[in-house]
Structure 1
Amino acid sequence: MSGCIPHHRLQVCMICALFFVICQFVFLIVFLRNGVLEDTITGRLLLHRGTGKENRLFGWREFISHTHEQPGANYQYNLQLSDTVGAIRSLPRTRHESCDSKRTYNLPHSSRAKVSVVISFYNEARSMLLRTIISLVSRTPEDYLHELILIDDASQDVSLLEELQKLMEKMYATRGRLTFIFLRNLQRQGMIWSRNRGAEAASGHYLLFLDSHCEVNEDWLEPLLGRLSLNATLAVSPLLDHIDPATLSYRSGNDMVKGGFDWNLHFHWLRRELSAKEAPEQPFKSPAFSGGVLMISRDWFLKLRCFNPNLKIWGGESIELAIKLWLCGGQIEIVPCSRIGHIFRPRHAFDFPPQFNHESSTAHATYLHNSKIIADSWLDEYKNMFYVLKPAARQIPLFHTNQDEDLLRQLKLELRCHRFDWYLRHVSPELKAHFNELSAMGTLKNGYRCLHARRTDNVSQLEVILDSCYLNDITQWRLLRKSGQLSTATERCLGVERGSMPPRLTMTPCSRHQNKMKAQRWLRRGTHLVHTGTYLCLDNPLKNQLVLSPCRSLAASQSFQFALEMEKQT
């Protein structure tokens, strides 16, 4: 019987085995009740697969079912579709193939490159916010992602942050190195103030400011971190892919444009010109950021005194930081090998709290306030370009203190900041060129009234009259130095209808065709505007009417003053 187990010993073994199975079953039930096993499973499923089945396991549906009730249109994207897409989805690889096959990134050790991510949100849909968070955590190397700081700017969904915190604790129990910090403003402070609060609370080496309606693509961090490790005063932005607000489709962003702004201090895309040996996927310098997504050394950001704390709610903060960066020793780069999807909403998804006693909308008044701060702080003598285009900004109160002015002056001295002319020459020659191509601009005043292009009963047509200079939408004019055209901001030019007798004034699209351009060409003679095709002067003979008449040197009705003249008139 050698080699065989005795019968009584076999019974004992069977009893022990049965007891072991029962213990394991009891142990499993206890773990499930305490949520420990669930925590482990959901963390792994989320990070590595993220299918619809796994979404249900960690309570995605239950969390988004408590989304604050308001029409989907208020979010300015398709809420119903967002709720059905899932917590995370596969995204197309939009970056150039050389980013994968040819590039190596010389990254610092993770102990010297901890990344703190700051996400401020106000009335964001739960599914969209959660997708932003999950895509970030899932597609960021664990060793580098130090903490995620979420700031709820007094959203109407008062239970969101508490429930989000509970969900994050369940989902990421296995990621011991990742810290979540949840902050809620007791009253609405705006994104600018909230981002500064997040930066102060952060403890990582680098800050990533991320909007709450984004999706992070694969391998987004390495290209950015590789550039930052080469230059401590650099700020970088991924190339932003576009998420369609209606369909949520994800498509590649344009790597042939860079960020910039005009003299209204509105953000614009500018054409990117490649040098002879430059590839589109190479990092490139940009005058400004887009979309509010940027990464920067926390020490450098604090040395720059963060976003200007006097800016209100939202708007202009990226332009202000961009100008400050360039003038005070830093640089901005867009890195096409890093891709993050972003929803560019068709209009604001939130209201602006009343800030000032001003006739314009609260959104416009806030924009004027923030832009006025930028102009007064950084544009030096070129701030007149802003004021002639936005004269209403002069009436906006800033409530600056002497301490604010002293701090700005101290910052410029400490960092040896350049004057704005340096920015025009070295960073944004496009803005300088726009300045140089004008001989006069702004409102065009005759007596106490201004030349105004207003819509007729036919909404596609404009007529020119004299009207109050204090209208919110009073026309701002540009007299182009080279062509002599007198243009509005929408590129409608004042001209004369061909063959009309007597000559009749028209407002038509500005032409680049030589023959048509002749009908839109004007000469500046003192304060007169002389039409080159007829040699007649713009005249106001009666009430608000405008006509062409023979020029009379001392006629007050033919005297028109621009808000800003760039060259001495003959």
Structure 2
Amino acid sequence: MGCRVAGTDVKKETKKASTTIKCIDGTSSRVNEGARPNMTSYNQHRRAHLIKKLMLYLMTWFIITLLLQVDQANVVSQLKGHVAPLPIMPRRLKENLSRRVCGGDNDKSRGEDLILPRYGEMGEPVVLPVNLSADLKEMVDYGWSRNEFNQYVSDLISVHRTLPDLRDPWCKEPGRFLDDLPQTSVIICFHNEAWSTLLRTVHSVLDRSPPRLLKEVILFDDFSNMPHTKRQLDDYLMAYPKVKVVRTSKRQGLIRARLLASRHATAPVLTYLDSHCECNVGWLEPLLDRIARDVTTVVWPVIDSIDGKTLQYQWQEDILLGGFSWNLLYNVIEVPERERSRRNHSAEPLRSPTMAGGIFAINRVFFERLGTYDSGLDIWGGENLELSFKTWMCGGSIEMVPCSHVGHIFREKRPYKFSYDVTLRNLKRLAEVWLDEYAKYHYLMSVNHQKDYGDVTSRKDLRNRLGCRSFEWYLDHVYPELYNPKRSTANGRIRNSWSDKCLDAMFGNQKPVAVFPCHKDGGNQFWMLSRTGKIRNNVVCLEFAEDKIITAPCHEEKRSQLWLYDREERSLLNGLNNKCLTISEEQDRLLVEDCVRDSKQQLWQFDELHVERVL
């Protein structure tokens, strides 16, 4: 330490001709009175003091930094396939970093100036730890509440992330697809889509589509109100001239948004994608090839699942086709044997009764000839079945193309709300225009009592003008696997006259069948007895399982689902144990007991019997 002669640091003591100088570090020296302190010693003390201070500051900074690193390591567990910890940073900083890391139009320009962990590469999952800090948990929860998927994890993943090539070698053989393929306009409608998922969708199209085939990408903003969907999006996309942003002045809903967006398309093929997809390697050429060979073919890819929690790209190993149930809700079905045997190779296209509505490609002229979407359909629901029915019935076909893969984030529920009455109204329009006499079965099985479904005159006129086939033709030739209610030997309620109770499937699949007071609304109390002895409620069948009566997926080989109805005795005999369906003495549950002639608990009556349909 240095010494000063004046001020509070020094105490002077006069004694004869000398002065004692006491320093703040406890040392002292004596000098002759009138003499000056040694300046070399003074400077050395001062430098030592500064060096001590500097070392103290450096040690403090090092300890604080170390503690912060330890705290972050406690927050983040080791990720599958990754050792680096998750960055904990404000949202705006993360988005800016994402632009720097992931910006650019080709692999060489991506992130060479900034090194960050690349999460989710090759479709791998990003798994967050269980014990998150309060701040991080708040960010994760916020993303879930806005999107119904893990936006925080999505924001960590590059918008150019790599995916595994899932194509069969058959798809990659030279000359597999035509050389002269048509161009396409890719249409992506969105409403308040998360920044990272929206950009990942766009970049997957740009990065994995041959430039000569991709005419444009139309981003149709259905009246979003989040800041990142406005100026920020426009500024980002200035570097990508093939991408056009079109906005509405009011909320339209998905169906009308797609109709409006198609007016801005200029390519001969329209390809629709949802706004949370990832197109895989070689996705486009197989779709365009089928349309190039037949313009009346509507095609859709294998839709792989992207996990909403980890964003893992999950390969759909078993190919599933599109179907529907009599409540007119879309479902997936196994590939029928008749379709498997028709093909020479497992990667060849498959004919599908229906398609998922979010991802498909269609020739624009053929789409317009079919009347595009019914503009009377509102927001969401039924539009994919309407397009499927009229494609098949009016001269076209639908194919699933196994050589094309697109990933899609499937959410358990939508982040926006609308009344289910809207969907029922859409389905009523669908039934009235396309189902012919089969519409009554939709009403019986779905309890769709919508009265105001709008004017469908123009849609019926369109069907007549196109000379479309009947819905019965569709069931016989396109979807014979769907149970035809017109072939039931009995249908309606199954009523026990002694208790005035009816079988009710209200608890759903794999649940006990209830007995409740009878009503005439159909739905859970509408049953159909098939020629093969199955008692069906829409897509499930009555089954005896472990001393209980439940509903389960229908299966022709199960004797536990075989029921023999004696019209004279009015009894239902189970084919597995030769016992009769019985209502309990308390009238509150179903049993299977030894058959007793004229037992009031074993008397069951269908509303309608069709003896002429019995084989």
- Is the contact between residue 526 and residue 569 of structure 1 (CA under 8 Å) also seen in structure 2? no
In 2, distance between residues paired with 1:55 and 1:288? 47
Gap change, CA 1:424 and 1:443, over 3 Å in 2: same
Q: 1:106 aligns with which of 171, 178, 182?
A: 178
Q: Which residue in 2 is equivalent to 1:451?
A: 503
Structure 2 counterparts to residues 180-191 of structure 1, below 5 A:
180-187=244-251, 189-191=252-254
The one of 46, 62, 70 aligned to 2:105: 46
| Corresponding residue pairs, total | 485
Cα displacement (A) at 1:254: 3.6
The Cα offsets for residues 456-492 of structure 1, whole Å up to 9 and x where unpaired, read as: 9xx996363232527897444343431x354555746
Asked if the contact 1:76/1:345 (under 8 Å) is kept, the reply is: yes
**Which residue of structure 2 lines up, in the alignment, with residue 238 of structure 1?**
301
Matching of residue 161 in structure 1 with residue 230 in structure 2:
yes
| Matching residue of 2:266 | 203
Partner of 1:131 in structure 2?
200
Change (3 A) 1:558 1:84: same
Matches within 5 A, 1:295-334: 295-334=361-400
Specify which of 465, 485, 499 is matched with residue 414 of structure 1. Answer: 465
Output aligned runs, 1:347-366, within 5 Å.
347-352=413-418, 362-363=419-420, 365-366=421-422
Aligned equivalent of 1:388: 444
- Cα distance in structure 2, aligned partners of 1:510 and 1:230: 38
How far has the Cα of 1:397 moved from its partner? Answer: 2.7
Amino acid at match of 1:91: L
Give the whole-Å Cα distance in 1 for the aligned partners of 2:157 and 2:557.
54
Alpha carbons of structure 1 residues 340 and 516: separation in structure 2 relative to 1, 3 Å: closer
Note the C-alpha offset of 1:191: 0.6
**Structure 1 position 289, deviation (Å):** 1.0
Letter in 2 for 1:318: N
Distance 1:50 1:470 in 2: 67
Aligned-pair CA distance for 1:279: 0.9
Partner of 2:91: none
Give 1:76 deviation, angstroms: 2.5
Q: CA distance change for structure 1 residues 383 and 233 in 2, over 3 Å: closer, same or farther? A: same
For residue 208 of structure 1, report the CA deviation from its aligned partner. Answer: 0.6
1:79 equivalenced with 2:151 (yes/no) = yes
Tell me, in whole angstroms, the C-alpha distance in 2 between the residues paired with 1:419 and 1:380: 7
2:598 is the counterpart of 1:560? no
The 1:425/1:280 distance shift into structure 2, 3 A limit, reads same
Superposition pairs of residues 358-507 of structure 1, within 5 angstroms: 362-363=419-420, 365-390=421-446, 392-393=447-448, 395-401=449-455, 404-405=456-457, 407-431=458-482, 433=483, 435=485, 438-444=488-494, 450-453=502-505, 462=512, 464-467=514-517, 469=519, 474-482=524-532, 484-488=533-537, 491=540, 493=542, 506-507=549-550
Name the residue aligned to 1:149: 218
Cα distance, 1:185–1:341 mapped onto 2, change above 3 Å: farther
Q: Provide the residue aligned with 2:570 in structure 1.
A: 528
Aligned-residue offset at 1:398: 3.2
Cα pair distance change 1:308/1:105, threshold 3 Å = same
Q: Is the 8 A contact 1:52 1:86 kept in 2?
A: no
SS in 1 for 2:105: helix
SS at match of 2:489: strand
Q: Deviations over 1:212-233 (max 9, x none)?
A: 0101122222111111111121
> TM-score normalized by structure 1?
0.73
Residue 26 of structure 1: aligned partner: none
1:522-566 CA distance string (max 9 Å, x none) = 41517934446778786799987878896669x999563447969
> 1:429 is paired with a residue of what secondary structure?
coil
Question: What amino acid is the match of 1:105?
Answer: F
Tell me if structure 2 keeps the 8 A contact 1:284–1:333: yes
**Which residue of structure 2 lines up, in the alignment, with residue 17 of structure 1?**
none
Which whole-Å CA distance do the structure 2 matches of 1:467 and 1:294 have between them?
45
Q: Does 1:517 align with 2:560?
A: yes
Q: Aligned equivalents of 2:397 and 2:164: distance in 1?
A: 30
Give the Å deviation of 1:151.
1.9
Please give the per-residue CA displacement for 1:94-135, whole angstroms capped at 9, x wherever unaligned: 1112212344321436xxx33212111123211101110111
CA–CA distance in structure 2, aligned partners of residues 566 and 142 of structure 1: 63
CA shift for structure 1 position 290: 2.1
Question: For 1:420 and 1:90, how far apart are their aligned partners in 2?
Answer: 44
Match status 1:89 vs 2:139 = no
Identify unmatched segments of 5+ residues in structure 1: 1-40, 58-66, 353-361, 499-504
1:217 and 2:280 equivalent? yes
1:78-109 deviation per Cα after TM superposition (whole angstroms, max 9, x unaligned): 21110010221111101112212344321436
- What residue in structure 2 maps to residue 22 of structure 1? none
| 2:376 maps to amino acid | N
Post-superposition offset of 1:235: 1.0
TM-superposed CA distance for 1:77, in Å, is 1.9
- Pair 196,461 (structure 1): closer, same or farther in 2 beyond 3 Å: closer
Q: Tell me which amino acid in the other structure corresponds to 2:393.
A: L
C-alpha spacing 1:421/1:254, structure 2 compared with 1 (3 Å): farther
Mean Cα deviation higher: 190-199 or 218-227: 218-227
Q: SS state of the match for residue 444, structure 2?
A: helix
- Percent identity (aligned): 30
Paired residue secondary structure (2:270): strand
Structure 1 residue 141, shift from structure 2 partner = 2.1
Q: 1:277 to 1:288 in 2, by over 3 A?
A: closer
Distance 2:369 2:236 in 1: 35
CA distances 1:52-82 after superposition (whole Å, capped 9, x unpaired): 447999xxxxxxxxx9994424422221110
**What's the CA shift for 1:451?**
2.9
The CA distance in 1 between the partners of 2:545 and 2:410, in whole Å, is: 41
How far is the alpha carbon of 1:146 from its aligned partner?
A: 1.9
The one-letter code sitting in structure 1 at the alignment partner of 2:328 is L
Contact residue 68 and residue 157 of structure 1 kept, 8 A: no
| Change in 2 beyond 3 A, CA 1:76/1:428 | same
Of 241-250 and 96-105, deviating more is 96-105
Q: Secondary structure at the match of 1:418?
A: coil
Once the 2 structures are TM-superposed, how far is the Cα of residue 44 of structure 1 from its aligned partner? 8.9
Of 44-53 and 375-384, the range deviating more from structure 2: 44-53
The equivalent position to 2:402 in structure 1, one of 328, 333, 336, is 336
Q: CA 1:460/1:539 → structure 2, altered by over 3 Å: closer, same or farther? A: closer
User: What are the Cα deviations for residues 427-447 of structure 1, in whole angstroms up to 9, with x where unaligned?
Assistant: 11111x554774344544568
> 3-state DSSP class of the match of 2:106?
helix
